[in-house]
Amino acid sequence: MRRIDLTGDGREDYIVDFRDTKCGDRETTYCGTGGCVMNTLVTLPDGSVQPVFDGRVRSYEIKPKPMKRGAARTIRFDLHGSYCGGFGAQACVKERAISVAPFAFKQP
């Protein structure tokens, strides 16, 4: 689990990446050709936590913090090629500024 302010509101948000998680001897429970399970949760003003993303990603990169105070962080997601109209091995990159609004990547 990674704690980082993603929304720019000064509260810690969370990225739960299952990349290194195993269930017994099975390494494919949380990972496959589409990547590994990743959850992103944001902390709301009342202190509760809201899930905003739950999906499989091959890798991700949190872009540098914006210069504008209070601005949301952007995450670069490397996804299965089918999310960009291709097939598995093809590159598919999508970026998303993180807010309290849930989102998902759809296959065309």
The pTM of the whole model exceeds 0.85: yes
Q: How many CB atoms lie within 10 A of CB 63?
A: 11
Cα 55 to chain centroid distance, Å, stands at 7
Could you tell me the residue ranges of all domains in the chain? 2-97
* Beta strands at 2-4 and 35-43: parallel, antiparallel or unpaired: unpaired
Interatomic CA distance for residues 2 and 23, integer angstroms: 20
Longest dimension (CA), the chain: 46
What are the pLDDT tens digits along the chain (108 aa)?
999 999 999 999 999 999 888 777 776 788 988 899 999 999 999 999 999 999 999 999 999 988 888 899 999 999 999 999 998 888 899 999 999 999 999 988
Interatomic CA distance for residues 22 and 7, integer angstroms: 30
